[in-house]
Chain A
Amino acid sequence: MITLTVNGESRSIKASPDTPLLYVLRDELGLNAAKYGCGLGQCGACTVIVDGKAIFSCITPVMVLEGRTITTLEGLGNPDAPGPMQRAFIAEQAAQCGYCIPGMMMRAQALLNRNPHASDEAIRSELQPHLCRCGTHMRILRAIRRAADEMRPKTANARSER
Chain B
Amino acid sequence: MTQAVSRRGVLAGAGALIVAFGLSRAHAQTETGTGGGPLKHGLPGSLDDTPNIDAWIRVDASGAVTILTGKAELGQGLKTALLQVAAEELKVPLVRLSLVTADTARTANEGYTAASHSMQDSGTAIRHAAAQAREILVGEAARRLGVAATSLQVRNGEVFGPNRMRLGYGELVRDQLLSVEAKPTSRLTAPADCTVLNQPVPRIDIPAKVTGRSAYVQDLRPEGMLHGRVVRPPSYGATLRDCDIAQVERMSGIVKVVRDGNFLGVLADREWTAVQGMRTLAATTIWIEQQALPDSADLPAALMKLPSHDTTIHDTGSPGKPGILVEGTFSRPYLTHGSIGPSCAIAQFQDGKLTVWTHTQGVFFLRDAIAGMLRMPTENVRCIHAEGAGCYGHNGADDAAADAAMLAFATPGRPVRVQLMREQEHAWDPFGPGMVVKLRATVGADGMIADWHHEVWSQSHMMRPGPPGTLIAARLKSDAFPAAPPVALAQPEGGGDRNAIPLYAIPNSKVINHFLPDMPLRGSSMRSLGGYLNVLSIESVMDELAVRSGQDPVSFRLRHIEDPRARDVIETAASHFGWAARVKSSDSTGFGFGFARYKNLEAWCAVAVEIEVQRQSGVVQVRRVVAAVDTGQIVNPDGIRNQIEGGILQSMSWTLFERVTFDRTRVTSIDWSGYPIMRFDSVPGSVEVHLVDRPGDAFYGVAEAAQGPSAAAIANAIRDAAGVRMGGLPFTATRIKSAIGL
Interface residues of chain A, those whose CB is within 8 Å of chain B, are 15-16, 19-20, 23, 26-27, 30-33, 35-40, 42-43, 45, 72-74, 76-79, 82, 86, 89-90, 93-102, 105, 124-125, 127-128, 130-139, 141
- Also in contact, A90 and B206, with CB within 8 A (given A131-B679, A134-B646): yes
Task: Report the minimal beta-carbon distance from B337 to chain A, rounded to whole angstroms.
Answer: 8
B75:A90 contact, CB within 8 angstroms: no
Q: Is the CB of B211 within 8 A of A73?
A: yes
SS class, residues of chain A in contact with chain B: loop
Which residues of B sit under 8 angstroms from A93, Cβ to Cβ?
200, 202-203, 206, 638, 642
The 8 closest A-B pairs by CB, nearest first: A97-B75, A33-B212, A135-B649, A98-B209, A97-B390, A135-B646, A99-B389, A42-B672
Contact of A128 among B75, B271, B673, B681 (CB under 8 A): B681
Instruction: Report B's interface with A, CB cutoff 8 A.
Output: 74-77, 200, 202-203, 205-216, 218-219, 221, 227, 270-272, 275, 338-342, 387-390, 392, 419, 421-422, 638, 642-643, 645-650, 653, 671-673, 677-681, 683-684, 686-687
Least CB distance from A151 to B in Å reads 15
Contact B210 A101 (CB under 8 A): yes
- Bound CA–CA A22/B654 (angstroms): 30
Is the pair B422, A96 in contact by a Cβ cutoff of 8 Å? no
A124 touching B272, Cβ below 8 Å: no
In the complex the two chains form, is A97's CB within 8 Å of B74's CB? yes
Q: Indicate which residue in A30, A78, A95, A99 contacts B206 across the interface (CB closer than 8 Å).
A: A95
Which residues of chain B have C-beta atoms less than 8 A from A30's C-beta? 221
Q: A75 CA to B421 CA in the complex, in Å?
A: 28
Complex: A95 Cα to B392 Cα, angstroms: 15
B211 & A77 in contact (Cβ 8 Å cutoff): yes
Contacting pair A27 B210 (CB below 8 A): no
Measured between alpha carbons, how far is A39 from B200 in the docked complex, in Å?
37
Which of A23, A40, A105 is B422 in contact with, Cβ under 8 Å? A40
Other than A20-B272, A138-B684, give 6 A-B pairs with Cβ distance below 8 A.
Answer: A38-B422, A78-B213, A79-B211, A90-B206, A100-B389, A135-B646
Contacts of A139 in B (CB 8 A): 642, 645
Shortest Cβ distance from residue A71 to the other chain B in the assembled complex, whole angstroms? 11
B649–A138 touching, CB < 8 Å:
yes
Distance, CA A76 to CA B207, complexed state (A):
13
Chain B residues with Cβ under 8 A from A20's Cβ? 272
**28 chain-A/chain-B pairs, Cβ below 8 angstroms:** A27-B221, A31-B212, A32-B214, A32-B216, A32-B218, A43-B340, A73-B211, A79-B211, A90-B202, A96-B75, A96-B390, A97-B341, A97-B388, A99-B75, A99-B340, A99-B341, A99-B390, A102-B210, A105-B210, A124-B680, A130-B680, A133-B338, A133-B339, A134-B390, A136-B646, A137-B649, A138-B645, A139-B642
**Smallest CB gap from B214: residue in A:** A32
A89–B645 touching, CB < 8 Å: no
**Given A93-B206, A136-B642, A138-B649: A99 touches B677 (CB 8 Å cut-off):** no
A23 CA to B387 CA, complexed, in Å: 20
Give the Cβ gap from B224 to chain A, nearest Cβ, in Å: 14
The answer to whether A27 touches B202 (Cβ under 8 A) is: no
Contacts of B387 in A (CB 8 A): 97
Assembly CA distance A132 to B650 (angstroms): 9
Q: A37-B422, A40-B671 are in contact. Are A74 and B212 (CB under 8 A)?
A: yes
Residues of A within 8 A of B211 (CB): 33, 73-74, 76-79, 82, 86
Name the A residues within 8 Å of B647 (CB-CB): 135
Q: In the bound complex, how far is the Cα of B212 from the Cα of A83, in angstroms?
A: 12
Chain A residues with Cβ below 8 Å from B672 are: 38, 40, 42-43, 131
B342 and A37 within 8 A (CB):
yes
Contact B390 A133 (CB under 8 A): yes
List of B residues within 8 angstroms of A137 by Cβ: 649, 678, 680, 683
Known: A23-B270, A32-B213, A99-B389. A45 touches B206 (CB 8 A): no
Q: Which residues of A contact B203 (CB under 8 A)?
A: 93, 95
**Residue of A33, A78, A132 with most partner-chain B CB within 10 A:** A132
Q: What's the minimum C-beta distance from A34 to chain B, rounded to whole angstroms? A: 8
* Chain A nearest CB, measured from B357 CB (Å): 15
Q: A102 CA to B207 CA in the complex, in Å?
A: 11
Q: Does B209 contact A95, Cβ atoms closer than 8 Å?
A: yes
Residues A79 and B208 in contact, CB atoms below 8 Å apart:
yes
Contacts of A23 in B (CB 8 A): 270-272
Question: In the complex, A132→B681 CA distance in Å?
Answer: 13
B residues in contact with A98, CB < 8 Å = 75, 205-206, 209-210, 215
Contact B212 A135 (CB under 8 A): no
Residues on A with beta carbons closer than 8 Å to the beta carbon of B645 = 135-136, 138-139
Nearest to A19 among chain B residues (CB) is: B272
Chain A residue numbers with a CB within 8 Å of B74 are 97
For the complex, give the distance between the alpha carbons of A125 and B683 in Å: 11
Q: Which of A36, A95, A132 contacts B210 (CB 8 A)?
A: A95
Which of A27, A43, A96, A127 interacts with B680 by CB under 8 Å? Answer: A127
Separation in Å of the B15 CB from the closest CB of chain A? 33
Distance from A38 Cβ to chain B, minimum over Cβ atoms (Å): 4
- Please state if A90 and B677 are interface contacts (CB–CB under 8 Å): no
Residues from chain B with a CB closer than 8 A to the CB of A99 are: 75, 216, 339-341, 388-390
Q: A32-B219, A37-B422, A127-B680 are in contact. Are A100 and B646 (CB under 8 A)?
A: no
**In the complex the two chains form, is B341's CB within 8 Å of A90's CB?**
no
Determine the chain A residues whose CB is within 8 A of the CB of B671 once the complex forms: 38, 40, 42
B443: min CB distance to chain A, Å: 34
Q: Which of B214, B215, B272, B647 has the most CB of A within 10 A?
A: B272
CB distance from A93 to the nearest CB of B (A): 6
Residue picked from A23, A36, A42, A97, most chain B C-beta under 10 Å: A97
**Which of B200, B210, B338, B422 is within 8 Å of A73, CB to CB?**
B210
CB distance from B136 to the nearest CB of A (A): 35
Contacts of B643 in A (CB 8 A): 96
Inter-chain CA distance A47–B205, complex, in Å, is 21
CA gap between A113 and B202 in the complex, in Å: 28
A131's partner among B218, B219, B340, B419 (CB-CB below 8 A) is: B340
Partner of B76, one of A40, A96, A105, A133: A96
Max count, chain B CB within 10 A of own CB: residue among A74, A82, A128, A137: A137
List of A residues within 8 angstroms of B683 by Cβ? 124, 137-138, 141
In the bound assembly, the distance between CA atoms of A130 and B218 in angstroms comes to 20
B673 lies within 8 A of A32 (CB): no
